[in-house]
Amino acid sequence: MRRRTLILGLGFAVLVYLILFFYVFGLSPMVTGSSQAKWVEMELSLEPKFSDTEICKECHYQLYIGMKNHSKVSCEACHGSGVEHTIKRTSDTIVKDRTRDFCLNCHLDVGGRDAVKTVNETHHPGIYCVVCHDPHK
Amino acid sequence: MNRRNFLKLIAGFLPAVALVRGQNAGESHKSYVMVVDVNKCIGCGKCVVACKVENDVPMDFKLSRTWIEGYAVKEKIPIEESDVKKEVLSTSKNPFLDKSWIETTRGRKTFYVPKLCNHCANAPCVNVCPVYARFYTKDGVVLLDKETCIGCKYCIVACPYGATFTHPEQKVTDKCTFCYHRIKRGLKPACVLACPTGARVFGDVNDENSEVSRLVKENRVAVLKPEWGTFPRVLYIGLDSYVVE
Amino acid sequence: MKKIEFIFGSALLLLILVGALGILQMHTHPVMPIEPFESAEGIPWRLLVALYVFFVVSTTGFCIIISLGEVFGFTKLEPILKECMLMALVTILVGLMTIALDLEQVMRGYFAIAGHVNTTSIMFWMIMLYVLYVIFLIVEIWFYFYDDLIKQREERGLRGLVARVLTIPKASETKDFAKVIGFVTVFTAIIANSNLGALFGVNYIPLWHDPLLPVHFVLSAIVSGAALSVIGVYITDFARGVKIEGERYEAIQMLRVILGFSIVVMIFFTAWKFVTKAYPNSTLLSREAALPFINGEFAFNFWVMEVAVGLLLPLILLAAPQIGRRAEGVFAASLLTVTGIFFLRIDHVMGGLALKLITGMSFPSPVYHPFEIMATIGFFALTILLYYVVYKLMPMEVGE
């Protein structure tokens, strides 16, 4: 075949590959950099749904100061997300679960729970734990 | 120098190479790390619920950004597959309170391992995403750009820890972000806040006075699956590597 | 149009509609809330990805057969090159459509070409290389058909219009230019296909983490290319009502030799792949990765469909002189091979992920979601319909 055809063909192929590499390594880092920066801004603008024990203490200091065993547990671990409650300050915007099952979620005597005091099913079955044990003391 | 020393020299370069891309390993930047104490985890699942509330993952969805694996192990050497029983808590329903789990743990060594995205310094998910939707921030957190993600699910295939999943409503992939919007305001991540025993501790390991630095100095820490070269940022105290993959 | 063509075309359109419905349902209702499909909810790559791999490796195979005939001097293959070229084009287009519709965010599928680039991602390079491949393939087909298209300019109707749009009256050396571009195309195709093999080489999935996987992909490309070429040529001549004899018969016989040889190599590859993985002290989890195929939930897929139907039976059919010498025999063997290759893709994609014991969830057995099966049928019907349309529009008689 003629040399001209060979050069034309291979030249076309090399040209297409060069355009690809120029696009990948030259043009695109600008697009990725800007979209990532925009997303970081978006992440930082999200509103938290949990506040912190410091915020709860501002109104409920009496409840907090009396705690002995549960003092290391954050308020929202048991009472749920608190941001709505700090705005509305009503009783239905915070979780108050007094049932036996709620306490047994952490304190039931299954295997592997050396970090808490555990209790068996046979310990006063059916009765709410809060009848005898106040978690805020 | 003989071959072994040469290989050690090359291996020493790997973390540096991994950290250079997009990150600044200098002292002026933070390096966030989470230390998880397996001895303290009681498998209550409050971290899972808190994470789902904070980050808009449906409560009854089977998967979660963070989850707990409970292991009940019959102590025997050599250990066989039937000697290890595993159960997973990743929804609002806690399987560790079921009769079947209580029966299983009778007489076996039991412990609970909370797992989450490890924000690896050499993350496979960052390396394989075709549209560069996952990237490192300067403080070491791996973020996921949901506006760019096309949902090819290569990151789900590539993550050795199974930390990422497809969000059922948003139709993109989703993963733990160390609650980036909270930690930048000086708050703690939701799972750290919710843990009643203080098994999860979060902080900046570049800061010598932080709790995580103290824990790392005083304890023997391990990571999950170190053999894949991912250099994870979640460190475990009390991990039983014979059992936990 | 003849009546039978009309009926056939409508049947295909109906199947394509079924496929479109499947795709729509897949994107709006991801999981049917009944077992066993519910357990497959979190699994990332399922039947559609296996179908995509099937299509894309088929197009590489066609490209290799074309280059054997055009560039590397297997002159016996020349009579069937035009059909193979059209089939290569159709399969890559349908393959790219398959993977585009499998994305969670279909509307953002163009992002990789629109600037969002990650150079360390093998999947990104796969997208780019296949775009290049399509460009080169279209250029090659255009120049290969150029002389015959010039002759078609005088015809009336749609065929003449297509020919007038695609050509200028005076041109020369187009077949040589097509040969050069053919070489570039097969070069790109082999790089792209082995890149796809490397894409599956994810570190911690033991079935996939195999340095020979790219080579295995190119080898299975040769097998599926040869088999599908035989199927395509046979069905084309059957539809035209022409018996296969003469030059085209010689081409089929040459394909029979290529297919037989590559099946033998494939048998060795498959056997050693599983023996090295199932060996007692092989690396982390390798043994557990191979066991589902030996005697686990994938055993039927592997032993019956992939090995017996896909490799051993076609080899026997091709080697037996009474069967292999007839075009029908080679066609039957090719059908069996293609079925085996299809199940090879399913085993590879879904079997590899079967061990992914993350968050306590795994799907040990192959689960085919009904919507995915509908989509698969739709895509196959689309391939046949597209090939038929392109065949009718292009000049297919062997030029002087």
User: What tens digit of pLDDT does each residue of C77-116 get?
Assistant: 988 999 999 999 999 999 999 999 999 888 988 888 888 9
Does A90 reach chain C within 8 Å, measured CB to CB? no
CA distance C169 to C153: 9
Looking at residue A20, what is its pLDDT? 92
CA distance C287 to B227: 18
Q: Work out whether the CA dihedral C297, C298, C299, C304 comes out positive or negative.
A: positive
**Which residues in chain A have Cβ-Cβ distances shorter than 8 Å to C116?**
28, 31-32, 35
- Which of B94, B132, B177 comes nearest A32 by C-beta? B132
Subunit contact B147:A39, Cβ cutoff 8 A: yes
Across the B:C interface, residue pairs with CB atoms under 8 Å apart total: 104
Subunit contact A28:C116, Cβ cutoff 8 A: yes
Residue C281's CB is within 10 A of a number of other CB atoms, namely: 6
**Which residues in chain A have Cβ-Cβ distances shorter than 8 Å to B179?**
48
Kindly report the average pLDDT of chain C as a whole number: 86
List CB contacts of B118: < 8 A, sequence separation 6 or more.
B161, B163, B223, B224, B230, B232, B233, B234
Subunit contact B130:C112, Cβ cutoff 8 A: yes
Which B residues 9-48 touch C at CB under 8 Å?
A: none
Across the A:B interface, residue pairs with CB atoms under 8 Å apart total: 118
**Which residues in chain C have Cβ-Cβ distances shorter than 8 Å to A8?**
177, 180
Is B113 in contact with B73 (CB distance < 8 Å)? Answer: no
Subunit contact B171:C41, Cβ cutoff 8 A: no
**Which residues in chain A have Cβ-Cβ distances shorter than 8 Å to B54?**
48-50, 81
Which A residues 92-131 touch B at CB under 8 Å?
A: 104-106, 108, 110-116
Nearest CA-CA partner of A74 in A53, A58, A59, A57: A53
Does C392 reach chain A within 8 Å, measured CB to CB? no
Note the ipTM here.
Answer: 0.87
pLDDT above 70 (res C278): yes
Does A27 reach chain C within 8 Å, measured CB to CB? yes
**Which residues in chain B have Cβ-Cβ distances shorter than 8 Å to C122?**
128
Subunit contact A40:B199, Cβ cutoff 8 A: no
Does A80 reach chain B within 8 Å, measured CB to CB? yes
A3-22 and C122-144 helices, crossing angle to 10°: 150
Looking at residue C399, what is its pLDDT? 38
Q: What is the DSSP letter of B140?
A: S
Looking at residue C169, what is its pLDDT? 66
Confidence band for C359, pLDDT divided at 50, 70 and 90: very low
- Which of B54, B97, B198 comes nearest A110 by C-beta? B97
**Which residues in chain C have Cβ-Cβ distances shorter than 8 Å to A31?**
114-117
Is C192 in contact with C126 (CB distance < 8 Å)? Answer: yes
Subunit contact B157:C205, Cβ cutoff 8 A: yes
C interface test, pick of A4, A12, A30, A36 with most C CB neighbours within 10 Å: A12
Subunits next to B (3 or more Cβ pairs <8 Å) are A, C
Subunit contact A49:B54, Cβ cutoff 8 A: yes
Under-50 pLDDT residues of chain A: none
Which C residues 331-390 touch A at CB under 8 Å?
A: none
Subunit contact B101:A40, Cβ cutoff 8 A: no
pLDDT above 80 (res C178): yes
Does A12 reach chain C within 8 Å, measured CB to CB? yes
Subunit contact C177:A2, Cβ cutoff 8 A: no
Is A50 in contact with A76 (CB distance < 8 Å)? Answer: yes
User: Please, what are the domains in chain B?
Assistant: 29-59+116-237 (3.30.70.20)
A interface test, pick of C180, C183, C195 with most A CB neighbours within 10 Å: C180
Subunit contact C135:A8, Cβ cutoff 8 A: no
Does B166 reach chain C within 8 Å, measured CB to CB? yes
Subunit contact C132:A5, Cβ cutoff 8 A: no
- Which of B62, B165, B228 comes nearest C204 by C-beta? B228
- Which of A2, A10, A30 comes nearest C173 by C-beta? A2
Give the C-alpha distances (Å, rounded to integers) separating C70 from C23, C88, C189.
38, 14, 15
Subunit contact A44:B137, Cβ cutoff 8 A: no
Subunit contact B128:C122, Cβ cutoff 8 A: yes
Q: What is the DSSP letter of A46?
A: P
User: What tens digit of pLDDT does each residue of C315-347 get?
Assistant: 999 999 998 888 899 999 999 999 999 999 999
> Hey, is B172 helix, strand or coil?
coil
C interface test, pick of A6, A28, A35, A36 with most C CB neighbours within 10 Å: A28
The 3-state secondary structure of chain C, one letter per residue: CCHHHHHHHHHHHHHHHHHHHHHHHHHHCCCCCCCCHHHHCCCCCCHHHHHHHHHHHHHHHHHHHHHHHHCCCCHHHHHHHHHHHHHHHHHHHHHHHHHHHHCCCHHHHHHHHHCCCCCCCHHHHHHHHHHHHHHHHHHHHHHHCHHHHHHHCCCCHHHHHHHHHHCCCCCCCHHHHHHHHHHHHHHHHHHHHHHHHHHCCCCCCCCCCCCCHHHHHHHHHHHHHHHHHHHHHHHHHHHHCCCCCCHHHHHHHHHHHHHHHHHHHHHHHHHHHHHHHHCCCCCCCHHHHHHHHHHCCCHHHHHHHHHHHHHHHHHHHHHCHHHHCCHHHHHHHHHHHHHHHHHHHHHHHHHHHCCCCECCECCCCCCCCHHHHHHHHHHHHHHHHHHHHHHHHCCCCCCC
CA distance B213 to A73: 22
Predicted TM-score (pTM) of the model is: 0.90
Q: What is the pLDDT along chain B (245 residues), one digit of tens a residue?
A: 455 555 555 544 444 444 434 444 444 688 999 999 999 999 999 999 999 999 999 988 888 899 999 999 888 887 777 788 888 888 888 999 888 998 888 888 999 999 999 999 999 999 999 999 999 999 999 999 999 999 999 998 888 888 888 888 888 999 999 999 999 999 999 999 999 999 999 999 998 999 999 999 999 999 988 888 899 999 999 988 777 76
Does A19 reach chain B within 8 Å, measured CB to CB? no
Which C residues 111-150 touch A at CB under 8 Å?
A: 114-119, 128, 132, 135-136, 139
C interface test, pick of B60, B131, B145 with most C CB neighbours within 10 Å: B131
- Which of A2, A13, A16 comes nearest C176 by C-beta? A2
- Which of A8, A16, A24 comes nearest C177 by C-beta? A8
